[in-house]
Structure 1
Amino acid sequence: MQTYQSLTAGFAWNLPARYNIASACADAWACRAPERICLIEDRGAAAALTMSYGELAFASRKLAGAMAARGIGRGDRVAIVLPQSFETVIAHLAVYRLGAIAVPLAMRFGPDALGFRLEASGARLAVLHQEGLATFNAVGESLASLESVIIVGGGPGDGGGPDDFSRLVADAPATIGDADTGPDDPALIIFTSGTTGAPKGALHGHRVVLGHLPGIRFSHEDYPQPGDRIWTPSDWAWAGGLLNVLLPSLQLGVPVVFSSERFKPDEAYQLMARQNVRNAFLPATALRILAAASDEEAIGDLNLRTIASAGESLPAATYDWARDTLGLTVNEFYGQTECNMVLGSSAALGVSRGGAIGKAVPGHEVALRGEDGREVARGTPGTIAIRAPDPVMFLQYWQDPAATAAKFSGDWLLTGDQAVMDADGYVAFLGRDDDIITSAGYRIGPGEVENCLIAHPAVKLAAVIGKPDPLRTEIVKAYVVVKDGVEETKALAAEIQHFVRNRLSAHEYPREIAFVDDMPLTTSGKIIRRAFRERAAAETDGACGAMQGSAQSLG
């Protein structure tokens, strides 16, 4: 391995004129080594299922043909609402082959969250899992742009109808050619939460996978090495699972281990041992849960080489546990959906310091800028900014030029995250300068949750903030003013929680609800969330001792 200094000084982007994610992540390996394993599905005690690059290339080309027969072509949006599965990867690559735009969405979304994103993206086709049909059917008829669906996981007695994924892949020809795409052609929309109002869709070009290669090689220490296998519990509908792990690893030839099961610590230990996982991307919450359920026998069966973590700051106690118990230094890294994996650590290169995210990943120029737009002095807090152009940077917010323009100051993308850089270039994260909530690795905008709360017939006003939590970093807490004549009861609070959970998602619903008599507002009528954050922080003071109970899930 080179030194950090030589890697940084000698780095230069050299993007090809023509580039397609599907060709890079499947065809390149299928031509050289078609039997090489690219995907491994852990099935517990049952034997694992595998897929080779040759099989992946063939299946994704056939599905692309079936999509093309339904009129899908360059620029069309295709929603992919699936768990970690072979079908998810096949669907992604099929979309990229056509020059269409993939819109990955989490299966855990409720009808309001799912419907908004389907409508906002203008998806013409949706690839859905059978288990998500009820949620989809609650919104599908109201979507003017959606023309057809493909169903994954239909039962053996359903006759394999015309919308069945397996039947389409089996029957379609594999003769369709790939669209002639370049690195800047649009490929992917990932929705990110805003502080107020609706979530925004970050549109990325095919280049986004190339942009992630330096970061994943940096954080996983000269990745790949012979025998490397990578796993993450992060949903492939999010940047963390899709871009921090899945697509870059496929391009680099590293087998990706996955499971459709929800994250549980004992099963996670068993999966990593059973599948000989060498590399893991584990959000801080997942690491905290593993540390709380630490088992000497289970840990003794592990063969991990690297652990990377992102999404939220890693507590010092968890960092120390991984070093002392697993014998590994966790390499933290940082980014946003709009511009990911730009700061990071690499213990093997000597880039690791307690309390810091790390330094700029080779290939990315990162600075801290003040309110006047100028770079701040070392040791002075500022906003993390990334210089454009950068291959990992989004193209724009989907159909939102005003929000896109507001994200930039000259040649610099402003993340909105506050940090401080020391004299050696290490960046320590301080916090958001807006109201984004970080919970169990998810970034949650309060606006969408507040809008859902106000839709409840008993709620007059609502404010949502992140309350400090020892396990999840923050939990979603709602302060609610009820309508006249409504009684404030525990039963009502539970009813409101279920209302939000069923319409948005399990990670967005308020785990705590407090009824208040009035809502502090600015002169322009905006909620002063700061007052509630201060109140929640005061509630937490002195209550952050030993973690209560045993966490069994990231739900």
Structure 2
Amino acid sequence: MLRAVPTYEALREGFDWALPERLNMAAQVLAHPADQVAILDLSHGRNEVTYGELAAMAGRLALALSQRVQRGDRVGVLFSQDAWCAAAHIAIWKIGAISVPLFKLFKRDALESRIGDSGLEIVVTDAEGAGMLSGLAEALLPEDLPEGDVAMVDTGAEEPAVLIYTSGTTGKPKGALHAHRMLTGHLPGVEMSHDFLGQEGDVIWTPADWAWIGGLFDVLMPGLALGVPVVAARLPKFTALEAARICREGAVRNAFFPPTALRMLKAADQQIAGLRSVASGGEPLGAEMLAWGREAFGVSINEFYGQTECNMTVSSCGALFAPKAGATGKAVPGFDVQVIDARGEVTDAEGDIAVKRGCATMMLEYWNKPEATAEKFRGDWLVTGDRGVMEGDFIRFVGREDDVISSGGYRIGPAEIEDCLMTHSAVATVGVVGKPDALRHEIVKAYVVLKDGAVASADELQTWVKTRLAAYSYPREVEFLDALPMTVTGKVIRKELKALATKESET
């Protein structure tokens, strides 16, 4: 754990990852007294799951999986916020396999894409998830497990453990492969963004699904590793009243609210008492939101920054320094985050936000994509794809170099939506961009050219995406054009479509 010190400089001074050669994340999260509460499930009443119970659940799963998969095999995890979600990842790591988080809002095409690319054959899930997997992979359900356990596999800190798919602008989503050091790497940023998480009485919750890196490694696994009870609460739909109820009933003291959740809380004028820390990440909040947060929660909202490939790299920390509107925060201890130019040199001007090799949350590679992996780096720097500028120790986010859409806390790749729409018989070509939106930061907008003589409505195309990819990624607006702006090689010029969408939002 980070030492609670009075200054940011003292926090960074002398920090060392001190990673052991042998490391297994399953052992990290279970290293607490058996009778200590690990997860507080508020989805159906109130159910406290202790570390001992969580270990027994993971042991039963590990036994069943050890008879079906080998070390290094990929195994899917398809749950909402549920103790079995945590147990599944722990079990997979325990036997030396690689867990692949899957999302309950995915439709068949999205599931098929990730299952096919990762080569997994088994998914640990519940009855609902089993119904979604028909013909795609074998479903392993908790109710089918016998009692038992297996020994922890002796894994190295650099051995693959998690494969998390991330959105991109070209092609299908890429799988970022991470090692067992990943959890250790998240701890400094999580602790910093929650004003030294791990204080007596701390209880943490996020409405973000545990299928995403933000839910899984910004909250669930760090909370378990630090001995902080994690609240599980499945919300069919986020509302300000439900969020306040969960915080009240769970005695939540530490919350990670994505920016969209914060905007919805602000719109409802919903204050939440009793919070010791509030963290947020994904989009800049701005001075107005930060000021409202201090009123509504009684604490400063700590913004943090990262991405699936290298997470929790930058953070604010109200316990150490005042937030700076428009700036994401300062580099987390153990991370060298700079703005670099096209040659890979650190610059004082606007440039690419980049993270130097050597930090513990940096991915090993993109799964089966050596060229894409090489393109992600510029010398010793992992290039985030975001533009920024240094202002002293603070890093100011300027904008995205790529076209990934940030909507409601999700990073959405336009290419996957375009590919889906192109499978509709009436669509000739399509371009998808993010359109500025007051609530969601951006919404997905599709510009569609129909085939000669073909007919399709906006509702029809929206439903087409909703039922094949995910409910959160469908185009909330569809506009029909006679032609799209194209390069000489036939690629859609999203920059021009983005400018058009931005202009529309201003009128």
Aligned to 2:470: 505
Does residue 1:358 correspond to 2:362, yes or no? no
Kept after mapping to 1: 8 A contact 2:178/2:364: yes
Aligned to 1:162: none
Partner residue of 1:149 out of 113, 122, 139: 139
Kept after mapping to 2: 8 A contact 1:63/1:172: no
Does residue 1:23 correspond to 2:21, yes or no? no
Deviates further, 306-315 or 468-477: 306-315
- Matched residue type, 2:505: T
- Matched residue type, 1:414: V
Give CA deviations for 1:18-55 in whole Å, capped at 9, x if unaligned: 111111101x11xxx210000001146x3x10110111
Partner residue of 1:487 out of 455, 468, 480: 455
Kept after mapping to 2: 8 A contact 1:78/1:95: yes
TM-score by length of 1: 0.89
Partner residue of 2:387 out of 418, 425, 431: 418
Separation in 1, partners of 2:197, 2:131: 41
> Number of matched residues?
502
Kept after mapping to 1: 8 A contact 2:186/2:311: yes
Partner residue of 2:446 out of 478, 492, 498: 478
Kept after mapping to 2: 8 A contact 1:351/1:359: no
Equivalent residue of 2:188, what SS? helix
Between the aligned residues of both structures, percent identity stands at 46
Displacement of 1:397: 0.4
Displacement of 1:58: 1.7
Aligned to 2:72: 75
Separation in 1, partners of 2:467, 2:313: 35
Separation in 2, partners of 1:396, 1:75: 15
Kept after mapping to 1: 8 A contact 2:426/2:455: no
Displacement of 1:372: 2.3
Kept after mapping to 1: 8 A contact 2:83/2:232: no
Displacement of 1:316: 2.6
Does residue 1:40 correspond to 2:19, yes or no? no
Kept after mapping to 2: 8 A contact 1:4/1:351: no
Equivalent residue of 2:195, what SS? coil
Aligned to 1:534: 499
Kept after mapping to 1: 8 A contact 2:176/2:309: yes
Kept after mapping to 2: 8 A contact 1:385/1:413: yes
Aligned to 1:391: 360
Separation in 2, partners of 1:109, 1:316: 35
- Matched residue type, 1:530: K
Separation in 2, partners of 1:264, 1:73: 42
Aligned to 1:448: 416
Partner residue of 1:428 out of 386, 393, 396: 396
- Matched residue type, 2:396: A
**For residues 58-69 of structure 1, what are the structure 2 equivalents within 5 Å?**
58-69=56-67
Displacement of 1:13: 1.4
Aligned to 2:143: 166
Aligned to 1:8: 12
Cα-Cα RMSD? 1.2
**For residues 261-272 of structure 1, what are the structure 2 equivalents within 5 Å?**
261-262=235-236, 263-272=238-247
Partner residue of 2:373 out of 385, 392, 404: 404
Displacement of 1:276: 0.6
Equivalent residue of 1:348, what SS? coil
Partner residue of 1:258 out of 219, 232, 237: 232
Separation in 2, partners of 1:75, 1:254: 30
Aligned to 1:105: 102
Displacement of 1:167: 3.4
Kept after mapping to 1: 8 A contact 2:270/2:296: no
Separation in 1, partners of 2:314, 2:320: 14
Aligned to 1:466: 434
Give CA deviations for 1:342-371 in whole Å, capped at 9, x if unaligned: 011001101521221011011100110112
Displacement of 1:11: 0.7
Displacement of 1:332: 0.2
Separation in 1, partners of 2:371, 2:167: 16
Separation in 2, partners of 1:111, 1:325: 40
Separation in 1, partners of 2:83, 2:455: 49
Separation in 1, partners of 2:118, 2:266: 39
Separation in 1, partners of 2:420, 2:287: 36
**For residues 45-444 of structure 1, what are the structure 2 equivalents within 5 Å?**
46=45, 48-70=46-68, 72-137=69-134, 139-140=135-136, 146=137, 148-151=138-141, 165-168=142-145, 171-174=146-149, 176-262=150-236, 263-295=238-270, 299=272, 302-377=273-348, 380-422=349-391, 424-444=392-412
Give CA deviations for 1:241-299 in whole Å, capped at 9, x if unaligned: 00101111101000000112232211110110111100000111101101111246xx3
Separation in 1, partners of 2:287, 2:445: 25
Kept after mapping to 2: 8 A contact 1:418/1:431: yes
Equivalent residue of 1:12, what SS? coil
Give CA deviations for 1:101-150 in whole Å, capped at 9, x if unaligned: 0000101001000000000000021112322334322x52xxxxx4x321
- Matched residue type, 2:49: M
Give CA deviations for 1:423-461 in whole Å, capped at 9, x if unaligned: x22111111101111001111111110000110111000
Kept after mapping to 2: 8 A contact 1:66/1:172: no
- Matched residue type, 1:252: L
Separation in 2, partners of 1:307, 1:406: 35
Give CA deviations for 1:44-75 in whole Å, capped at 9, x if unaligned: 6x3x10110111112211210111122x1210
Displacement of 1:328: 1.1
Separation in 1, partners of 2:285, 2:494: 25
Give CA deviations for 1:378-437 in whole Å, capped at 9, x if unaligned: xx2111111102111000000111100110111110001001111x22111111101111
Separation in 1, partners of 2:465, 2:451: 18
Separation in 2, partners of 1:133, 1:460: 35
